[in-house]
Chains A and B, each alone.
Chain A
Amino acid sequence: MAKKGKKVEITSRRRFFTDIAYSAGLATMGGLLWAGYTQKAKSSPLTLRPPAALEEKDFLKLCIKCGLCAEACHNRPSNIDRDTGKPKKSTLKMAKAEDNVTIGTPFFTPRDVPCYMCDDIPCVTVCPSEALDITKVTNKKTGELDFKMMDMGLAVVDSNSCIAFWGIQCDACYRACPLMDKAIKLEYDRNERTGKHAFLKPVVSMYDCTGCGMCENACVTEKAAIFVLPREIALGRPGDHYVKGWDKKDQQRVANRVDKDITTHDKRSAKKPEDYLNRELEY
Chain B
Amino acid sequence: MKWSNIKYLVFRRFVQISFLFLYAMGNYYGWKLLQGDLSSSILFGKIPLSDPLATLQILSTGALVGANVLVGAMIISLFYGIIGGRAFCSWVCPVNMVTDLAAWLRRKLLIDKIERKIWISRNIRYYMLVLALIVSAISGMAAFEVISPITILNRGVVFGFGMGGGLLIAIFLFDLFVVKNGWCGHICPLGGMHSLIGKYSIIRVSHNSDNCTLCMKCKDVCPEVEVLGMIGKRSEFVSRKECTNCGRCVDVCDDDALNFHLRKFLEK
Smallest Cβ-Cβ distance to B140: which chain A residue: A61
Decide yes or no whether A104 CB sits under 8 A from chain B.
yes
The answer to whether A37 and B142 have CB atoms under 8 Å apart is: no
A58 to chain B: which residues have CB within 8 Å? 63
The answer to whether A67 and B65 have CB atoms under 8 Å apart is: no
Decide yes or no whether B94 CB sits under 8 A from chain A.
no
Summed over the interface, the residue pairs from A and B with CB atoms below 8 Å come to a total of: 142
Partner of B39 from the list A38, A64, A127 (CB cut-off 8 Å) is A64
A60 to B54, CA, bound (A): 13
A183 to chain B: which residues have CB within 8 Å? none
Q: B130-183: which residues lie under 8 A (CB-CB) from chain A? A: 130-131, 134-135, 138-143, 145-147, 151-152, 155, 158-164, 166
A226 to B158, CA, bound (A): 33
Least Cβ–Cβ distance between B130 and chain A, in angstroms: 8
A104 to B140, CA, bound (A): 16
Stretch of A68-76, A136-144, A158-166, A212-220 that contacts chain B: A68-76
Most buried by B among A68, A87, A98, A127: A68
New A-B contacts (20) at CB < 8 Å, excluding given A61-B63, A64-B65, A64-B69 = A35-B139, A37-B146, A41-B141, A57-B140, A61-B61, A61-B140, A61-B142, A64-B39, A64-B50, A66-B39, A67-B27, A67-B37, A67-B155, A71-B30, A75-B27, A96-B160, A97-B162, A104-B151, A128-B40, A129-B58
A70 to chain B: which residues have CB within 8 Å? 27, 159
Decide yes or no whether B197 CB sits under 8 A from chain A.
no
B29 to chain A: which residues have CB within 8 Å? 75
B90 to chain A: which residues have CB within 8 Å? none
Decide yes or no whether B21 CB sits under 8 A from chain A.
no
Decide yes or no whether A94 CB sits under 8 A from chain B.
yes
Looking at chain A's contact residues, the main secondary structure is: helix
A75 to B164, CA, bound (A): 25
Interface residues of B (CB under 8 A from A): 26-30, 35-37, 39-42, 48, 50-51, 54-55, 58, 61-63, 65-66, 68-69, 72, 127-128, 130-131, 134-135, 138-143, 145-147, 151-152, 155, 158-164, 166
Smallest Cβ-Cβ distance to A68: which chain B residue: B36
Least Cβ–Cβ distance between B255 and chain A, in angstroms: 40
Least Cβ–Cβ distance between B50 and chain A, in angstroms: 7
Q: A119-155: which residues lie under 8 A (CB-CB) from chain B? A: 126-131
Instruction: Knowing A38-B141, A64-B55, A67-B159, say if A31 contacts B135 (CB, 8 Å).
Output: yes
B130 to chain A: which residues have CB within 8 Å? 27
Least Cβ–Cβ distance between B227 and chain A, in angstroms: 23
A42 to B140, CA, bound (A): 10
Partner of B36 from the list A57, A71, A93, A130 (CB cut-off 8 Å) is A71
